Amino acid sequence: TTLSSGTIYHSRVLIRCSSSERGGQQRSNAAVRVNGAAAPLLAPATDGRERSRQNIPTEKQAEDPFRQAQIVEGGVRYQQTVVVRSYEVGPDRTATLETILNLLQETALNHVWMSGLLGDGFGATHGMIKSNLIWVVSRMHVQVDHYPLWGDVLEIDTWVGSSGKNGMRRDWLIRGRGSGNIYVRATSTWVMMNKNTRRLSKMPEEVRGEISPWFIDRHAIHEEATEKIIKLDSNAKHVDSDLKPKRSDLDMNQHVNNVKYVRWMLETIPDQFLQHHQLSSIILEYRKECGSSDVVQSICQPDEYSVSPSENVSMVRGPSLLPEVINGHHSLAGALQQWPTKYTHLLQLKAGEGYEEIVRGRTTWKKKL
């Protein structure tokens, strides 16, 4: 709002989880395993004083005017309006993939917040706290149809559904608020783990009773058979070793934030490729958490058989094209070069003489307009 003087801008904001001060709980030395492999865990429960300070609702909220959010579709689907901020875009003024992933995390936590089920401020319900259970994400798939621009007003919908006997699925849709055009679709799979034993757990009936009324049988991405991502080794084409987390990379549980994993993955892709392509899909399979003292290796292998037919363009070196236009930093040669459109990724941390997997990934790319 502009005050009566017409010269001062006044605004109220809420601190997003991706914007909070990094730090908090001490790291646990126990492994967290999903399907035989470890996965990142969510923060442990906060005490009553912290809960009171955060004003966590104890009953379901129909709307939240500060977050511009509401519960819709029979009181189960969460919908929030956000504006793309200046620091959330890259050089081309479009929202970065990191921004999109942060918005997915933020709206998921806000959904639980408004449900009245939130027990610890970071995703666990009251019944889960009684059984010492936390959520761990085992898989995520994000499809980007269009990247929002700086200042775009977005409407983000998220909802949950069942995934097998003991899992939960969470989906998202990001649309333009005015146009209704879909920018992003995403889906993820979550399972429960005992935070003391670090073993997967069946879903207690009390917890099932808490969350099952919120389940919607709808999918943002219709996946048929989920393709297993192959494990790479150090003989891959692109390898970046000795990556070390910074303090600002840590989340509330002293583990590296999941968004940083994606950043490390993409840093191994050649710069010339990134100048002319943008990511359209990413699949992540989580294996193990990464701490502040770990040393990480990022490995990337292009799929040589995934060259798009549109890439088969013959260069015409006409007299009107200067050599620097053809071969310069932002050259036609780079734009028209035959590049693979699919890459396989692996992040792993040093463990003695070997390595342990953190996350496997698969990315798909398209030419920038």
Whether 166 and 191 have beta carbons less than 8 Å apart is answered as yes
Query: Which residue is catalytic, options 257, 277, 290, 300?
Result: 290
Q: Take residue 334 and report the two structure tokens written for it.
A: 């780079």
Query: Which residue is catalytic, options 102, 253, 257, 258?
Result: 253
Task: Give the number of other CB atoms < 10 A from CB of residue 84.
Answer: 21
Whether 278 and 97 have beta carbons less than 8 Å apart is answered as no
Euclidean distance between CA atoms 17 and 14, whole angstroms: 9
Long-range contacts of 321-325 (CB under 8 A, 24+ apart): none
Euclidean distance between CA atoms 154 and 152, whole angstroms: 6
Specify the DSSP element, H or E, that contains 141.
strand 133-144
Long-range contacts of 49-57 (CB under 8 A, 24+ apart): 50/121, 51/120, 51/121, 54/121, 56/113, 56/118, 56/121, 57/113, 57/114, 57/116, 57/118
Q: Give, in order, the Cα–Cα distances in Å from 69 to each of 1, 187, 189, 232.
A: 19, 20, 24, 42
Query: Helix (H, G, I), strand (E, B), or coil: what is residue 19?
Result: helix
Euclidean distance between CA atoms 186 and 289, whole angstroms: 22
Among candidate residues 287, 295, 297, 102, the one with its CA nearest the CA of residue 184: 102
Q: Is 255 a catalytic residue?
A: yes
Q: Is 166 a catalytic residue?
A: no
Q: Is 253 a catalytic residue?
A: yes
- Residue 167 CA, distance from chain mean position: 19
DSSP state of 58: S
Task: Give the number of other CB atoms < 10 A from CB of residue 335.
Answer: 17
Query: Dihedrals φ, ψ of 157, to 5°?
Result: -110, 140
Query: Which residue is catalytic, options 102, 111, 141, 255?
Result: 255
Beta bridge partners of 298: 240, 347
Q: Take residue 226 and report the two structure tokens written for it.
A: 């989920």
- The catalytic residues are 253, 255, 290
